[in-house]
Structure 1
């Protein structure tokens, strides 16, 4: 354990070649809201806007120290890991070959090229990550390149532990609680292992996206398992199978300390941090902050550090984030209405809307019936309670309707 602590501190010192410690900032807005002393470890402010640079840099540094002739580094990634590897390759003056799915957004491809410059070659392979990963590993076997795992690598874990080194130095000691996001487990395992080398380590909570809870699945099964389905919305942490090495560091966690964050609620948190604080977080970067409502009773009056792990948010996704946030908050609903096919029927419906009810979507789905037409309606309002009153008025007026807001199948086809 002591050796790991020393190695983590060395990794932290070496990172100063690239950037100063990311800020540890007290957040007044969250502190007041939760009656606690809440600090944000701003990993969204590294040069590549995520903590992934730490692990990539440390792994590359150690491989080159042990094998000075190693000049080719390879990874498979469509996101933050690719950007961290690209940045580190340019720093060290080595060749990086980065495999990405063909479906990777152009914005992410362009950012990776920007960070890597002439040091990086990007290869678009396959429609899904698994194909890109297989191609990357095959390329390593052919060329002798060194494969850089995004999380399941001892040197990567050691590099991510530098986040914990900085937190204790900046805070001047242990917080009462540390809240860590979990995807593949590199950050959580590294920081947890480092803190457990120190006297009286603090309590920790681990936050996964609800649609990619690979850590809690592994804890329940007694080892890493592959999730049958993953919601890719939280793309920086939606991992189907936690790493073998990372799980080894997390295997003794009590499953009750692992929380799941609903994807739609994460959208509410992202908008809150953007609109109130001017902080841009990607979905994975908002995980730790998003868990605070679930921890409200536990953290009252205590010092809490949340790691905001990334800020690589494509603003083309903002309409989707706003839509999902409104649905989760209950201020936007979609429903199917059977509207009588007679003059004035639409006016009758409009007259029962409240003063704060706004039609955001109106679309006839079927007009072939002689007496009734089926209509898809989306309503936005200022207060979720308004919908109970609206639906009561619809029932009183004799309208037949069905709320499909939370019906994934119907909403997926119609909305």
Structure 2
């Protein structure tokens, strides 16, 4: 959009001088704090670049959103304050409005999607106290916004937009103001997450006015890329659906004003998938000991993708860690997917002959690599289908693994990038099997160190067929497996000596009621 078009969207703010004045006059520090700009040493070393993290997760509401919300609310007239405000938010903007309402003694109605993390809903109620009324509506921000618009008209309240508002954008821009003051040296690119565009619109406008040589690169989840599509098509698009993993940036349509500013000042937008976001969340934790929410790690995921394309150019990058309001129960999913997102785990379905010696050949093909997951249930008299995750260091190693399996004449299906397999099918391998006669079920624990599972598998007695196997590396200092072995009744005493000789803590689960109900094919 050119200057004339921007003037149409916002006549008083068509030039950068007017925006600079608004940003410099933004009143945010009544509630916000100047957050730190920290070097990420591990990530910097791995990428061959200096990586700086702008820690907006350190804000009182653990997100940058209170800057823009408060700047808007504190500028309202006494009459507008008396009528109260209304806002629509996936959670972080809502917390900013709630804190502002409590600080200013102003009634606020906050409409949140029903899919918003409970931690954010609870935080809004706690921050706002008696001043805030929470309404849950719809599945996305856009749904919540529609309900907020309806309530705004019905109650004659002032709408505090989460991104498409001049005061909100100016408040968010103070993040960039701090970055340039904290780091006056070389800065090659600044990475900013994008939902509706308020943060990047303000930051880009400020940076391009002060340091035009710094590249401004937005980052979006691949399933919520409204701004990227809008910039590509040179018109605001409306997404039919948005992904909900990065819920804080799940916006179906970006703002008219934010789009115009991004078109003027943003150099590029990078799209990243869920696995890349999970890997970035882990990276932030390892360097900062803070766990960002998915949207909070978007910028780091984009930075990593950009740095990889530059092959360690020795440049300096900054990324905004925009929020840390994460539901605790998401951590298990994040931990599992981070390995794949970092290309540190390859996932395969491998078919081997159901015959003596084939399992040892499978282990030999693995070499000394660590197994991250192993799922198997006997189901066919001639073939065994194994779901296996393996720790790798690069995509090339993943390809070499597939080649090693094929060299053993094993069937190989690479599932590393398969969403259905990673999300669902890995948990559904099992069931009763008529072939699993004389089956004993045992739970083992062993020291979790490289190659431990491979050595455990190699020690399994060759005379007893493995009919069930489940293992998943959970990041603990010991590994836990569940194994089914077909042991004829007259060899049970020999089996007991074998288990004792292994030396691993174990427990016989053959009489477990859930096993009897779901897996066992005959009485033991």
Name the TM-score class by shorter chain: 0.7 to 0.9
- Higher Cα radius of gyration: 2
* Shift of residue 49, structure 1, vs aligned partner: 1.0
Choose the corresponding residue for 1:87, options 88, 99, 108: 99
Aligned position for 2:339? 326
Whether 1:46 and 2:59 are equivalent positions in the alignment is: yes
Aligned position for 2:406? 395
* Shift of residue 175, structure 1, vs aligned partner: 4.1
SS at match of 2:114: coil
Flag structure 2 segments of 5+ consecutive residues without an equivalent: 1-15, 427-524
Q: Distance in 1 between matches of 2:269 and 2:105?
A: 40
SS at match of 1:242: coil
Change (3 A) 1:340 1:132: same
Aligned position for 1:99? 111
Aligned position for 2:74? 61
Q: Contact between 1:208 and 1:258, CA under 8 Å: does it hold in 2?
A: yes
* Shift of residue 34, structure 1, vs aligned partner: 4.8
Which TM-score applies when normalising by structure 1?
A: 0.86
Q: Distance in 2 between matches of 1:153 and 1:79?
A: 18
* Shift of residue 3, structure 1, vs aligned partner: 3.0
Whether 1:2 and 2:17 are equivalent positions in the alignment is: yes
Change (3 A) 1:239 1:78: closer
Q: Contact between 1:113 and 1:120, CA under 8 Å: does it hold in 2?
A: yes
Q: Contact between 1:71 and 1:145, CA under 8 Å: does it hold in 2?
A: yes
Q: Distance in 1 between matches of 2:317 and 2:123?
A: 33
Q: Contact between 2:164 and 2:258, CA under 8 Å: does it hold in 1?
A: yes
RMSD between aligned residues: 3.0
Whether 1:313 and 2:323 are equivalent positions in the alignment is: no
Count of equivalent residues: 408
Q: Distance in 1 between matches of 2:271 and 2:383?
A: 43
Q: Distance in 2 between matches of 1:29 and 1:332?
A: 19
Q: Contact between 2:43 and 2:283, CA under 8 Å: does it hold in 1?
A: no
Whether 1:162 and 2:174 are equivalent positions in the alignment is: yes
Aligned position for 1:135? 147
Q: Distance in 2 between matches of 1:350 and 1:33?
A: 30
Whether 1:285 and 2:302 are equivalent positions in the alignment is: no
* Shift of residue 410, structure 1, vs aligned partner: 4.6
- Bigger drift between 158-167 and 54-63 goes to 158-167
Change (3 A) 1:325 1:30: closer
Whether 1:379 and 2:392 are equivalent positions in the alignment is: no
Q: Contact between 1:168 and 1:174, CA under 8 Å: does it hold in 2?
A: no
Aligned position for 2:469? none
Q: Contact between 1:334 and 1:377, CA under 8 Å: does it hold in 2?
A: yes
* Shift of residue 225, structure 1, vs aligned partner: 0.6
* Shift of residue 56, structure 1, vs aligned partner: 0.8
- Bigger drift between 150-159 and 403-412 goes to 403-412
Q: Distance in 1 between matches of 2:372 and 2:382?
A: 24
Flag structure 1 segments of 5+ consecutive residues without an equivalent: none
Q: Render the CA deviation track for 1:314-338: whole Å, top value 9, x for unaligned.
A: 3322221222221233443433344
